[in-house]
Amino acid sequence: MTTARERPTLEAVARRAGVSRATVSRVVNGSTTVAEPIQEAVRQAVRELGYVPNLAARSLVTQRTDSIALVLPESATRVFSDDQFFPGIIRGVSQELEAADKQLVLMMASSTASQERIERYATGRHVDGVMFASMHGVDPLPGALARMGIPVICNGRPLGRAAASVPYVDVDHVGGVTTAVRHLLDSGRRRIATIAGPQDMVGGIDRLTGYRNALQDSGCRSIVAVGDFTRESGAQAMRQLLNDDPHLDAVFVASDLMAHGALRTLREAGRRVPDDVAVIGFDDIEIARYTDPPLSTVRQPIHEMGREMTRQLLRLAAGEEIELALILPTELIVRESS
């Protein structure tokens, strides 16, 4: 009968390296107070024996788990849909955590019960920090965790009181949309509608603000429908806009997925893009290059947002001071749809 090989212990590594158990523990836990030749002897013994640190025991000593949570207040169906925002954020976060030798814990909070579970997990110190993305409404969890001393950062400005105390990384939604709508005005469009994003999310709110700011001094009236950042909601909102103003000649759409749906509705209604109706989206996800016609859009650096959010959180977890708000620039990408 065969048995599993015994797991090498700190004591076995210490015997192989010819040092004390305490010295091995310091080296394994990243101490820089041990002389380099002794560190190398310990590392060699670790390699020879195949020693793997007991992470649970090490976390008791270091008070670190080397794990970071990314909380998405969305359903799994939404996160794993064809909305490329989520893969972009997760990829950026993963790259930075891998470079820092940290583990990503992905958590979805689409219900009160799941939010309570995440709060218990975080306050139980199972992670060294928490990142939030795609937040809806006034979410009390980021502020509550921050008040407990847990490093917290948000992707997007938090709504409510947390905006004054919880750091965040965001893009210049208002400036990006203002530039896009002014591009439509400069091209001679005067009946410019918008399909806004959900008004319980900062991206939806700020993009609608940018649209209204751009029209403020133009003499053009605002024509607004609201979607939820999905393709189908964009198609439905476009039908509503055509009913509200059959003569509209341009539409700014608050996400590329919604713009894809809007293009479908315009085609079904016999409206040529951009001849009859110019269309501009927001995000510059891959689909924007392959719509018919290719979609003009406001590029936001989704991948870089994930990376920068992670960098900021790691600094915060290391005890460094960071700015409350880090705002990344956007860029108008003009293609055939406008």
Strands 250-253 and 296-299 turn out to be unpaired
List of domains in the chain: 10-62 (1.10.260.40), 67-171+303-328 (3.40.50.2300), 173-299 (3.40.50.2300)
| The one-letter amino acid at 25 | S
Concatenated DSSP letters of 153-177: EEESPPSGGGGGTS-EEEE-HHHHH
Q: How far apart (Å, rounded) are the C-alpha atoms in residues 308 and 326?
A: 9
Instruction: For residue 68, give the nearest of 111, 122, 112, 18 by alpha carbon.
Output: 122
Question: What whole-number distance in Å separates Cα of residue 286 and Cα of residue 290?
Answer: 7
Tens digit of pLDDT for each residue in 57-113?
555 454 567 899 999 988 888 888 778 889 999 999 999 999 998 999 999 887 788
pLDDT value at position 54?
61
In this structure, what token pair is assigned to residue 178?
């203002």
Tell me how many helices (H) and strands (E) the chain has.
13, 12
* 231-245 pLDDT tens trace: 999 999 999 999 999
Among 66, 65, 54, 67, CA closest to 25: 54
> Given its phi and psi angles, is residue 63 left (phi above 0), alpha (psi -120 to 50 degrees) or beta?
left
**Confidence band for 1, pLDDT divided at 50, 70 and 90:** very low
173/254 Cα distance (integer angstroms): 10
Q: How many residues does the chain have?
A: 338
Residues 185-239 pLDDT 10s: 999 999 999 999 999 999 999 999 999 999 998 889 999 999 999 999 999 999 9
Amino acid identity at 293: P
Q: What is the pLDDT of residue 2?
A: 34
- Supply φ then ψ for residue 198, to 5 degrees: -55, 135
| Residues 6 or more apart whose Cβ sits within 8 Å of residue 166 | 142, 143, 146, 152, 153, 154, 158
**What are the backbone angles phi and psi of residue 327, rounded to the nearest 5°?**
-110, 120
Quick one: pLDDT band at residue 4, thresholds 50, 70, 90? Answer: very low
Nearest C-alpha neighbor of 234 from the set 280, 188, 300 = 280
| Three-state secondary-structure class, residue 58 | helix
Cβ(282)–Cβ(160) under 8 Å?
Answer: no
284 — pLDDT class (breaks 50, 70, 90): very high
Distance separating alpha carbons of residues 257 and 228, to the nearest angstrom: 10
At residue 319's C-alpha, the angle toward residues 318 and 322, to 5°, is: 100
pLDDT tens column, 126-175? 899 999 998 888 888 899 899 888 999 999 999 887 777 899 999 999 99
Query: Closest by alpha carbon to 125, among 200, 62, 38, 201?
Result: 62
> CA dist 256 to 20, 262, 297, Å?
61, 9, 7
Task: Record the pTM.
Answer: 0.80
CA distance 235 to 264: 7
Q: What share of the chain is helix, strand, coil (3-state, %, to 5)?
A: 45, 15, 40
